[in-house]
Amino acid sequence: MHQEIITRFNSLKEKQLSIDITRGKPDSDQLDLSNALIDISIPNESEDGADLRNYGETFGILEARKLGSELLNAPIDNVLAFEHSSLLLTYQTVLANFLFAESKPWKDIKNPKFICPVPGFDRHFMMLDDFGIEAIPVPLHDDGIDLEEFSNILKSKEDIVGMLCVPRHSNPSGEIYSDENLLELFRIGSQFSDKFLFLFDHAYLIHDFLPSKEQRPLWELAVEAGVEDQTVVTTSFSKVTFGGGGISFYASSGGSLDLIKKVRTTMIICPDKLNQKRHVEFFKDADSVKAHMQKHAELIRPKFEIAYSYLEKLPDECGNFSRPTGGYFITYCTNKAIATKVVELCKRLGVLITPAGSTFPHNNDPKNSVIRLAPTYVSKDDLADAMEVFTVAVEIAHHNLEV
């Protein structure tokens, strides 16, 4: 049996594969869905007469803000429309608080800390690192953050200034936070401090590829909990239309809304209003954005199914894997502390996987067990090869075989 695994390893080596499944990116057939955007003709003016070609409309054109307001279920006064990505807006939010937070700028706090569910998005951890903000990991369950641990961290650590999470189809393990979890999170966090920032990167707001758990709009929950001044929700069209060529949305209120306006007013003369208009002309309304996302779903779902068909063949003793209903990732958790070894073996066979550990702050996965798989960006044939490699690598590492 072990000899058979080694033979499979050796024959895969002969194939000299070169496949990269490190990042969750749309494949070109998904990008083609939005090609009409490139040549769409638009007027020179926004709905309320702003010249789209000029400076001005610092916080987004009216019709883009309306679209954002529909998608985020937040009043238009609370919604700004920007450019590029949710990651950029997340970064700008941290920057704004770092420099100017109302009570005390975070730069003046000796060792500011954020609570971050793990596993999480590597770029979030890198971003916090840039600011010298310590990311304190908290476990993530099917219905959201471990609230007991969340509460314990707030009681036991000093200088916690906020939390950052992906509340729907969490990157990488795919959880959809329940309404109850979010309401309780808001209650505990706001009781701790009325300056505690709830920062949500809602990158996968509309990225279901299978029927998904119901989730009330985040903004509605924040309002119900009375924490909208402490809440920031960002999202973007990076995986709706074009990476870096989409538009982004920001929902917040009170001091938090003022802060983003303050930093952006110094930093950016105005968003790309022509691109905002193009997007609004292309989609018209939130329903048509959702219909467009169904087309993405049809292209993405079969790739997840291919990946599962391989993972299902792995014996349960090796580990287990997530079956998300949306987003871009599958998480495989090994039962033994072998994630690094598995990733190394895949590399030897020409398949690049997100480095082990990168879904934890400072690349520190205490169990060395979490592996992120990103099945969307490669062809189905390449994905099948990559998954074959992955399963062989898991078995080799699990049985500690010499290859």
Q: Rule CB under 6 A: which residues touch ligand PLP?
A: 24, 85-87, 121, 166, 171, 201, 203, 236, 238
- Residue placing its CB nearer to ligand PLP in the complex, 37 or 87: 87
C-beta of 155: minimal distance to ligand PLP in Å?
28
DSSP-derived secondary structure letter, 47 = T
- Residue placing its CB nearer to ligand PLP in the complex, 83 or 395: 83
- Residue placing its CB nearer to ligand PLP in the complex, 9 or 249: 249
Per the DSSP assignment, residues forming a β-bridge with 236 are 248
The alpha-helical segments, DSSP class H, found in 131-177 are 147-156
C-beta of 235: minimal distance to ligand PLP in Å?
7
- In 3D space, the residue among 355, 345, 378 whose CA is nearest the CA of residue 19 turns out to be 378
- Residue placing its CB nearer to ligand PLP in the complex, 166 or 233: 166
Q: What is the distance between the alpha carbons of residues 229 and 238, in angstroms, rounded to a whole number?
A: 26
Instruction: Give the CB-side neighbour count of residue 115, counting CA atoms within 13 A.
Output: 28
Q: How far is CA 278 from CA 39, 42, 132, 274, in A?
A: 9, 6, 38, 6
List all residues 6 or more positions away from 342 whose beta carbon is below 8 Å from its beta carbon.
334, 353, 356, 371, 390, 393, 394, 397
C-beta of 236: minimal distance to ligand PLP in Å?
3
Per the DSSP assignment, residues forming a β-bridge with 284 are none
Q: How far is CA 62 from CA 65, 69, 270, 273, in A?
A: 5, 10, 13, 10
Q: What is the distance between the alpha carbons of residues 386 and 383, in angstroms, rounded to a whole number?
A: 5
The encoded tokens of residue 271 equal: 């968003």
C-beta of 201: minimal distance to ligand PLP in Å?
5
C-beta of 396: minimal distance to ligand PLP in Å?
29
C-beta of 244: minimal distance to ligand PLP in Å?
7
Backbone angles phi, psi at 158, to 5 degrees: -95, 160
C-beta of 370: minimal distance to ligand PLP in Å?
15
- Residue placing its CB nearer to ligand PLP in the complex, 17 or 352: 352
- Residue placing its CB nearer to ligand PLP in the complex, 354 or 368: 354
Tell me the residue ranges of DSSP E strands in 65-165. Answer: 79-83, 113-118, 134-141, 144-145, 160-165
- In 3D space, the residue among 331, 327, 314, 320 whose CA is nearest the CA of residue 370 turns out to be 331
- Residue placing its CB nearer to ligand PLP in the complex, 201 or 228: 201
- Residue placing its CB nearer to ligand PLP in the complex, 69 or 236: 236
C-beta of 366: minimal distance to ligand PLP in Å?
22
Contact of 166 with 203, CB cutoff 8 Å: yes
List all residues 6 or more positions away from 177 whose beta carbon is below 8 Å from its beta carbon.
143, 144, 145, 165, 167, 168, 170, 185, 215
C-beta of 85: minimal distance to ligand PLP in Å?
3
- Residue placing its CB nearer to ligand PLP in the complex, 171 or 331: 171
- Residue placing its CB nearer to ligand PLP in the complex, 87 or 96: 87
C-beta of 150: minimal distance to ligand PLP in Å?
19
Estimate the crossing angle of helix 286-311 against helix 380-398, to 10 degrees.
Answer: 50
